[in-house]
């Protein structure tokens, strides 16, 4: 997955930046501005779109309020249309109660606010033409100079036009959508009836082939539009064609689909799509597959297509907003219209299927796909939860780094195995699982290269591989022979050597739980380059097997010199609580409950022993390959009184960071000193005793509950 851009950096900006931002970019549009102003004026009451604001015309977004002046009688224009039948239903008006409440008036049939009523009343003033259009562009004039104008009004009077509002509803899938989402679609073909007069007022009626109709009233200073839907619109469209004896063959491209249109449709869909992933929808299930973009484009352009109006969304493929069915239909959006195409010749169906079979071909191109990582010499092992909020590192995620001794040989061996294409969900199901909260836990993969959260290539010891191509599409593969999976483990042992920093990370990680108990005195100092110094010292108890920890101490707050008391508890796996008080007054400075991966909660003091160890582990083996490759550290280790002292510093001369860690032979942290240009930090255990038979653990559960309850009270 690509990391989504977020311009968070601009938050909390200084006044100058804010002035620049507001001068260059609009923060609200006119509609929002108007709403805000009305709320301000009405003292926070909801803005009524229908309210007249000082005589200003009600603009097109108020369509849901407008009454329809079109006839609601059920008259078929006798003789105008052959065999047409129409749905009859009373026109829905906005409820009178709301009308009275908000605008003080009730719209009734024949109300001259409606566009059609205005036109009809003054029809003699206007001359009418009709134009055939494609994708909202004029193609050919069908009727000129009032020809058939009388028929127009009697025909329109006979139609049932249902007003379309823009309210949002929840559909049967539980998703919000516009109430008339399908009616609001525009199809490529339309007929525009245009009415012009000498006084620069004009009206147009655009009727699309699906029955969507748009009235527009224009004058010198304003334009009002209103959307309607004609039931049985396809029939109406066809009736109008007959009514005016329109020769559809004379309208170029109404039926033929040009090569230019197809190419533009494909390119625009691809570039407009924010997600170039391909999906297969079969038997009610959705799966991610690989579709080669070049194969997709060339196949479609190499076939002949004609226009259609309906696409069946069952058992189809989707790629960059284009849907394709195995029976030769294709649908998408082009130039603001919903388009459907169909293969002219069913004999071409086999050729069309090359598109969704292109994933199978990719297996043959594996060598080419893997070329992107041929020069890589580092690979990451990633295991555990794949997500943590706010981009933080999850407590249970493990990353380790290896040097690849011979990348070319490794890739050649991989390519020599037999692979076949598969789907993303096959890989996910086989190489991990979701916990009760829906968090995906990976069993582990080797990640090569860097592409956002994961690698360009992910290699799973269970015999799967995903590879990102140059267009950021993913190809998914699995071994044809399951027994070949053990060869992947053998290749890893042969070609991957764990880096020193990851070995240290591994040691520290294991050191958190591979003992029984610990009792120690601890000392902590954090000294800023300004001289400001935070201190804390006290006692630490750890019950490692049950993942419990208790710390209590006294110290000084360098910021204001006040004496502090702190209490930190971990009551099980990654479940912590803490509080820091003013020693003199007992006043709480801050407190909370916390889990390592929580991006929102207030963090405990940085001398939380277990999290401190985790932090060191994550620094040594960071989440992202990019971060690791810039780490660039030198390691030196030596024995000190039976313990291991490791010193690291950066290879970069300008980087003055230095870390010294002292570990027991089993990996428990005894001390850590870290310094950079801004501050120096030290943490040390002394008088420590491991695995004492007399060890007793404070009641972490009750301390945790006390802090948690106090925290919940303060939240109310």
Which residues in this chain contact other proteins in the complex, by CB under 8 A?
Answer: 5-15, 17-22, 24-29, 31, 33, 36-37, 39-41, 44, 268, 271-274, 333, 335-336, 532, 559, 589-590, 592, 601-602, 678, 715
| Alpha helices (H) in 159-313, listed in sequence order | 233-243, 259-272, 293-301
- Using the minimum distance from each CB to other proteins, give the nearer residue, 5 or 713: 5
Helix (H) or strand (E) holding 65: none
Scanning the structure block, which residue is given the tokens 């490692």? Answer: 544
- Using the minimum distance from each CB to other proteins, give the nearer residue, 5 or 97: 5
- Shortest approach of other proteins to residue 611 CB, angstroms? 18
Among candidate residues 705, 645, 692, the one with its CA nearest the CA of residue 671: 645
Q: CB-side exposure of 459: number of CA atoms within 13 Å?
A: 25
- Using the minimum distance from each CB to other proteins, give the nearer residue, 398 or 591: 591
- Shortest approach of other proteins to residue 23 CB, angstroms? 8
**Torsional sign, CA 74, 80, 86, 91:** negative
Residue 286: left (phi > 0), alpha (psi -120 to 50), or beta? beta
- Using the minimum distance from each CB to other proteins, give the nearer residue, 71 or 337: 337
- Shortest approach of other proteins to residue 43 CB, angstroms? 9
688 with 643: CB under 8 angstroms? no
- Shortest approach of other proteins to residue 10 CB, angstroms? 6
Residue 147 has a CB neighbour count (10 Å cut-off) of 15
The vertex-604 CA angle with 598 and 608, nearest 5°, equals 110
- Using the minimum distance from each CB to other proteins, give the nearer residue, 27 or 82: 27
- Shortest approach of other proteins to residue 120 CB, angstroms? 32
Buried b (16+ CB within 10 A) or exposed e, 516-532: ebbbbebbbbbbeeeee
Among candidate residues 557, 666, 535, 665, the one with its CA nearest the CA of residue 607: 535
Tokens for 686? 């002394």
- Using the minimum distance from each CB to other proteins, give the nearer residue, 439 or 603: 603
- Shortest approach of other proteins to residue 532 CB, angstroms? 8
- Classify residue 208 as exposed, middle or buried by CB count within 10 Å of its CB (0-12, 13-18, 19+): buried
**Cα separation, 435 vs 589, whole angstroms:** 36
- Shortest approach of other proteins to residue 713 CB, angstroms? 13
- Shortest approach of other proteins to residue 471 CB, angstroms? 12
SS3 711: helix
- Using the minimum distance from each CB to other proteins, give the nearer residue, 260 or 639: 260
- Shortest approach of other proteins to residue 37 CB, angstroms? 6
423 with 287: CB under 8 angstroms? yes
- β-pairing verdict for 496-498 and 176-178: unpaired
Scanning the structure block, which residue is given the tokens 């804390």? Answer: 536
- Using the minimum distance from each CB to other proteins, give the nearer residue, 278 or 662: 278
- Using the minimum distance from each CB to other proteins, give the nearer residue, 488 or 577: 577
**Cα separation, 115 vs 102, whole angstroms:** 22
- Using the minimum distance from each CB to other proteins, give the nearer residue, 97 or 678: 678
362 with 289: CB under 8 angstroms? no
- Using the minimum distance from each CB to other proteins, give the nearer residue, 212 or 684: 212
- Shortest approach of other proteins to residue 606 CB, angstroms? 15
- Using the minimum distance from each CB to other proteins, give the nearer residue, 19 or 310: 19
Residue 36 has a CB neighbour count (10 Å cut-off) of 12
- Shortest approach of other proteins to residue 319 CB, angstroms? 16
- Shortest approach of other proteins to residue 328 CB, angstroms? 25
DSSP of 340-370: EEEES-GGGHHHHTTTTTHHHHHHHTHHHHH
């Amino acid at each position: 997955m690509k990391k989504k851009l977020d311009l968070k950096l601009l938050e909390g900006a200084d006044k100058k930046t804010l002035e620049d931002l507001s001068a260059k970019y609009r923060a609200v549009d006119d509609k929002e501005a108007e709403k805000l102003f009305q709320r301000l004026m009405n003292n926070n009451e909801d803005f009524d779109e229908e309210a007249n604001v000082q005589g200003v015309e009600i603009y097109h977004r108020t369509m849901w309020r407008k009454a329809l002046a079109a006839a609601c009688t059920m008259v078929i224009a006798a003789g105008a249309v052959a065999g047409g039948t129409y749905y009859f239903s009373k026109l829905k008006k906005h409820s009178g109660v709301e009308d009275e409440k908000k605008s003080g008036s009730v719209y009734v049939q024949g109300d001259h606010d409606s566009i059609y009523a205005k036109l009809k009343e003054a029809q003699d003033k206007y001359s009418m033409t009709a134009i055939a259009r494609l994708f909202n562009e004029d193609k050919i004039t069908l009727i000129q100079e009032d020809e058939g104008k009388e028929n127009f009004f009697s025909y329109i009077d006979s139609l049932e036009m249902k007003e379309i509002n823009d309210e949002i509803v929840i559909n049967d899938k539980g998703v919000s959508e516009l109430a008339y989402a399908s009616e609001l679609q525009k199809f490529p073909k339309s007929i525009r009836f245009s009415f012009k007069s000498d006084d620069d007022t004009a009206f147009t009626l655009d009727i699309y082939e699906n029955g969507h109709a748009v009235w527009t009233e224009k004058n010198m200073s304003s334009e009002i539009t209103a959307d309607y839907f004609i039931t049985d619109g396809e029939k109406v469209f066809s009736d109008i064609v007959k009514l005016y004896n329109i020769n559809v063959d004379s309208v170029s491209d109404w039926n033929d689909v040009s090569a230019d249109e197809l190419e533009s449709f494909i390119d625009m869909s691809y570039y407009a799509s924010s997600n170039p992933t391909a999906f297969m929808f079969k038997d009610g299930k959705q799966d991610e597959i690989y579709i080669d973009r070049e194969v997709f484009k060339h196949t479609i352009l190499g076939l002949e297509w004609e226009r259609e109006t309906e696409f069946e969304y069952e058992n189809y493929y989707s790629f960059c907003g284009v849907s394709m069915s195995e029976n030769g239909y294709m649908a998408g959006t082009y130039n603001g219209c919903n388009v459907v195409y169909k293969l002219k010749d069913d004999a071409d169906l086999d050729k069309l299927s090359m598109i969704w079979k292109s994933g199978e071909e990719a297996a043959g191109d594996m060598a080419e796909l893997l070329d992107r990582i041929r020069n890589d010499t580092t690979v990451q092992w990633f295991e555990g939860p794949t997500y943590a909020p706010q981009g933080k590192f999850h407590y249970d995620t493990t990353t380790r780094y290896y040097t690849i001794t011979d990348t070319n040989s490794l890739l050649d061996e991989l390519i020599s195995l037999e692979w076949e294409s598969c789907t993303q969900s096959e890989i996910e199901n086989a190489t991990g699982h979701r916990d009760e909260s829906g968090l995906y836990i990976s069993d582990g993969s080797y990640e090569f290269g860097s592409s956002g959260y994961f690698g360009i290539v992910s290699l799973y010891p269970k015999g799967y591989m995903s590879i990102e191509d140059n267009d950021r599409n993913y190809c998914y593969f699995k071994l044809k022979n399951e027994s070949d999976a053990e060869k992947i483990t053998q290749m890893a042992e042969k070609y991957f050597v764990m880096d020193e920093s990851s070995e240290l990370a591994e040691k520290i990680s294991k050191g958190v739980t591979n003992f029984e108990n610990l009792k120690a005195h601890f000392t902590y100092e954090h000294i800023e380059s300004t001289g400001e110094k935070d201190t804390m010292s006290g006692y630490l108890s750890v019950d490692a097997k049950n993942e419990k920890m208790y710390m209590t101490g006294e110290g000084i707050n360098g910021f204001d010199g006040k004496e502090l008391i702190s209490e930190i508890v971990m009551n099980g796996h990654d479940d912590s609580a803490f509080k820091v008080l003013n020693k003199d007054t007992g006043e709480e400075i801050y407190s909370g409950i916390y889990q390592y991966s929580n991006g929102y909660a207030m963090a405990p003091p940085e001398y939380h022993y277990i999290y401190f160890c985790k932090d060191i582990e994550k620094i040594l083996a960071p989440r992202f390959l990019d971060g690791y490759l810039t780490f660039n550290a030198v390691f030196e280790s030596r024995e000190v009184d039976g313990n291991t002292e490791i010193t690291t510093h950066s290879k970069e001369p300008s980087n003055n960071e230095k870390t010294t860690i002292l570990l027991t032979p089993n990996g428990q942290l005894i001390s850590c000193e870290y310094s950079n240009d801004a501050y120096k930090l030290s943490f040390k255990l002394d008088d420590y005793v491991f695995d004492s038979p007399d060890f007793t653990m404070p009641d972490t559960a009750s301390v945790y509950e006390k802090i948690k309850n106090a925290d919940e009270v303060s939240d109310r």
